[in-house]
Amino acid sequence: MKPMKGSRKIIVDDKTYYWLLRPGTVVIWDEEKKKHIFDLSTFTGWSWNDIERGYWKRYFSVKPKYVAEQIRKLL
């Protein structure tokens, strides 16, 4: 499967996943082409107000380490 433009590859527990941060959502899919779409509030556990303020103040980000932790937890 060819990954979407701008996506990032991450290997968690010997399985390959791709993830993409979109405005308001995080899209994760695996090699079997199964897609999981999470809104940022559900994915991070932050409220929308905190996320918006974090973007504005430049302290909110979604890093690969956090994506790997959430893949283990949610998938």
- Model confidence over 15-71: pLDDT tens digits? 999 999 998 999 999 888 889 999 999 999 999 999 999 999 999 999 999 999 999
pLDDT the model gives residue 2: 66
In the chain, the amino acid numbered 14 is D
Give the CA dihedral 37, 60, 65, 38, nearest 10 degrees: -10
In whole angstroms, give the CA distance from residue 35 to residue 28. 6
Count Cα atoms within 13 angstroms, Cβ side, for 45.
6
pLDDT the model gives residue 33: 82
54's enclosing H/E stretch is: helix 48-57
In whole angstroms, give the CA distance from residue 67 to residue 40. 11
pLDDT the model gives residue 4: 81
What are the boundaries of each domain within the chain?
8-74
pLDDT the model gives residue 1: 59
